[in-house]
Amino acid sequence: MENKNRRWKLLGLSVLIILLALAYKWAELEKNKETVSITSISGVNMEGGDGYIKVTLEPKLGKAFVIGGWKLALGEQVIPLPNASALPYQGRLNEEKPVTLTLSTTLVISPGRSPLGVSFRENRCIGMLGYFQTFIPPLPPACEQCTEETSASPSDVVKYPDYNSCVDNHRGESDFFGSTWRMYLATDTDWTTRHKVVRLYNESNKLLDTLSY
């Protein structure tokens, strides 16, 4: 009888330890969600060089977060987030730095190589680059003023506007920078889509958030 009671006590203690461990893990995850969270996932198609995944991240508490070293995981496949150029120029050597989140930010992550040579942040002029190269998904259209101002005269139709001049003319405007970053992994790996859960880890491999799609 005494041995039976001891076994029940040990079983109860084991269950209590497991519950405490689960509670701690849940509390840590909720705490991390106060830092940043995945709010939406769309366009999941990582098969082949034209695939991409679109992830929207929401920083909390009005803080800025540098996501250098962060990773997205689709099942067992881990996608490191690359550095990017906040102000890309065409035909120049662009400086790449870890991306900083300050507001709700969308990452368009592609497994292939960037037509511009670097990962980059979208801006009001960025659609002009679509005249010269193909981007998947397509770039947003440039502002109407941006495409008109490089004309020889107001009546001219601009077929090949000057992107770099547009950047120089508008970079100081409050609405110049977009909230989307194009991130290219520069790999030939096909990222399969059979896993329906995306996990976000920081540079210390701490789980920040998960989202099913």
Whether residue 184 is predicted with pLDDT greater than 60 in this model: the reply is: yes
CA-to-CA separations, 197 to 55, 157, 194, in angstroms, rounded:
12, 47, 9
Note whether 123 and 178 are within 8 A (CB).
Answer: yes
Question: Residue 13: what pLDDT?
Answer: 63
The tokens describing 196, both together, are 């329906």
pLDDT digits (tens, 9 = 90+) for 190-199: 655 556 778 8
pLDDT digits (tens, 9 = 90+) for 117-137: 999 999 999 999 988 889 988
What rounded mean pLDDT belongs to the chain?
Answer: 77
Residues 6 or more apart whose Cβ sits within 8 Å of residue 164? 89, 90, 91, 92
Report CA torsion sign: 93, 96, 101, 102.
negative
pTM above 0.85, yes or no: no
Among 12-21, 74-83, 132-141, the minimum mean pLDDT is found in: 12-21
Please name the helix (run of DSSP H) or strand (run of DSSP E) that holds residue 71, with its range, or none. Answer: strand 71-74
Query: How far is Cα 211 from Cα 213, in angstroms, rounded to an integer?
Result: 7
Q: Which amino acid is at 169?
A: N
Question: Residue 156: what pLDDT?
Answer: 45
Domain positions in the chain are 1-33, 38-212
